[in-house]
Structure 1
Amino acid sequence: MFAIEEAVFSTDVIGDTQEELKARISVHPFLAACRAGTIGRPRLNRLLTQHAKYGEHFTRFLSALMANLRSGDDCLRLAGNLLEEIGLAEDSPTPHSKLYREMLADLGVNPANEPVYPETQGLIDTMYMLCRQTDPANGLGALCLGAEAIVPVFYADIVEGFVQAGVPRERLGFFTLHIECDDGHADTMRDIMARMVADDPASVVTMVSAGEAALNARLRLFDRLMAGGAQ
C-alpha cells in the first residue's frame, strides 16, 4: 500500500510541477509584454531568430532521449512525436522546421544574419546534457516539463504579441499548430513518466530537477531578449 501511495504522490508532483513551471514562464516580463501589446516587433523578431537556433536541435534532443529509453514500446510512442516533427505523420505531412522557415521568410526574418546568443547556446547545451543522460528521467523531465508542456502557454503569448503588433494570426501557423499539438506530445511523455515513477517513485526528483533546469535556461534567454535593446 505504501508503494502505491508513494507512486500516486510522485505523479501528483509531476502535475503540480508542470503547473508551477507554466506559471513561472507566464509571469516573465517578456511574455507579459506580449500580452500587453508593448513588446514591439524588434524584440519579437529577435525571439524568432534565437528560437530558430534552438529549434534546429529539437529532433536531436528527442532522438537522444529515445536512445536512452528502456522500453521499446515507449520508444515507439515517442517516435510518433518525432514523425510529426519531421513531416512523416499522416496528419503532419510537412516538417515543422520547414513550417518555421516559411513563417520566418513571410515575416522577413533571416536567422542566418544573426549570431547565437550565449543564453540560447546555454539552453541548447542544457537540453543536450539532460537528454543524453543514461537515466531517461532526465530527458523526460527536460523535454516534457521544461519544453512540450509549457509550449502552449508561451506560444499563445507570442502569438498575442505579434497580433497586437499588427501581424495577422494566419501568418503565425507554426505557433498555432504547436499550441494545439504539443499538449498531446506532453501527454505522451507524462504517461511514460507516470509508469516510471510507479516502478521507482524516487525518479520524480530527477524529472522535476531536469524540468526546472530546462525552464531556468529558457528564462535566461527571455531575460536577454528583454534586455537586448529598445522596441
Structure 2
Amino acid sequence: MEELVEEALSHPAVCHPYLADLAEGNVPDLGWAIRDFAVQYPGYCAHFPRYLTMVISKLESPDHRMTLMQNLIEESGMLDEEEIAVLVEHGIDPEWVQGIPHPKLFERFQHAIGVNDTDEVADDTLEVICWRESFYHLLANGSPAEALGAIGLGTENVVNKIYTPLIRAIERLGTLDRQQYVFFELHCEVDDDHHEALLNIAHDFTDNPQNRFDLRKGMLKALGLRVIFWEWMHKRARRGGVDS
C-alpha cells in the first residue's frame, strides 16, 4: 500500500508544471490563470458527493459504507469537534466553514477572485465534461477495488499536494484573505482523515492479486484523467487568456 501511495504522489498529475508555474507565478497573467481555474474546476469537483455516493453503493461492508458516509457528511459542511480543533490550530476560524457545503465554499472563492457573471460559469467546457464523465464512468463500471483506487489513492491521497501550490499561487496574487480561499486550506488540513479512512478501506481489499491490480488500475486511471485536464489548463494559462 505504501508503494502505491508513493507512486501516486510522484505521478505527473501531482507534480505537473501547471501547478508549479501557478505557484511560482510563471504565467503571463497570474490573476487570469487563477480565475480560469475558478471557472473550470467546479465542473469536476462540485460533483464529488456524487462520486462518493457511487463508491458507497459498490461496497458490501457496512463499516466501509459508514466510513464513506461520514466523508459525505463532511462534504456538506458538518465538521466534528476534532476536525474543528485542527482548523483552529492552523488559524482557521470554524465559522468560515461549519455548516457550509464545500461547493458553496468554492463559490465564495470564485466571487472573491472576480468570477461573478453567472453566464460565465453556466456551461461547462467540453474538456471538463469529459473529465467528469470519464471519472464517474470509472467509478460506476469498475470493480469495487478499482473504484476505491480511483477515489482514494488517485484522488483523496493527492489532494494536499495538489492544493498546496494553488494556495501559494493565491497568496502570491495577494488580493484574497484566508476566509475567501479557505476551501483549499480546509481540504489540506481536514482531508488527511478522508485519506486515511480510504486507505484503510483499500487495505482491506489487498487480500488477493486481482484486487491489488484493480486498486492500482483505478488509481492510475484517475491520475491520468487529471493529467489531461492539467495539460489543457496549462496551455490556457501560458496563453494568458489569448484565444483560449
The residue correspondences of 1:43-122 to structure 2 (distance < 5 A) are 43-90=33-80, 91=84, 92-110=98-116, 112-114=119-121, 115-122=123-130
Q: 1-side partners of 2:203 and 2:137: how far apart?
A: 22
Are 2:20 and 1:36 aligned?
Answer: no
| 1:77-131 deviations in Å (ceiling 9; x for gaps) | 1111000001244454221111111221122214641442322122111221122
Report the 3-state secondary structure (helix = DSSP H, G, I; strand = E; otherwise coil) of the residue aligned with 2:10: helix
TM norm structure 1:
0.87
Gaps in structure 1 of 5+ consecutive residues: 1-10
> What is the aligned partner in structure 2 of residue 125 from structure 1?
133
Q: Is the 8 A contact 1:13 1:204 kept in 2?
A: no
Cα distance 1:222–1:73, how it changes in 2: closer, same or farther (>3 A)? same
Report the 3-state secondary structure (helix = DSSP H, G, I; strand = E; otherwise coil) of the residue aligned with 2:209: coil
Q: 1-side partners of 2:160 and 2:2: how far apart?
A: 21
| 1:120-157 deviations in Å (ceiling 9; x for gaps) | 12211122112213621121111112211111111110
Aligned length: 218
Query: Which of 15, 18, 39 lines up with 2:5 in the alignment?
Result: 15
Structure 1 runs (4+) greater than 3 angstroms displaced:
88-92
Cα distance 1:30–1:76, how it changes in 2: closer, same or farther (>3 A)? same
| 1:64-88 deviations in Å (ceiling 9; x for gaps) | 0000001011000111100000124
Cα RMSD (Å) of the superposition? 1.9
Q: 1-side partners of 2:194 and 2:64: how far apart?
A: 13
Query: Which of 181, 186, 190 lines up with 2:195 in the alignment?
Result: 186
Q: 2-side partners of 1:44 and 1:19: how far apart?
A: 23
Cα distance 1:163–1:194, how it changes in 2: closer, same or farther (>3 A)? same
Are 2:168 and 1:160 aligned?
Answer: yes
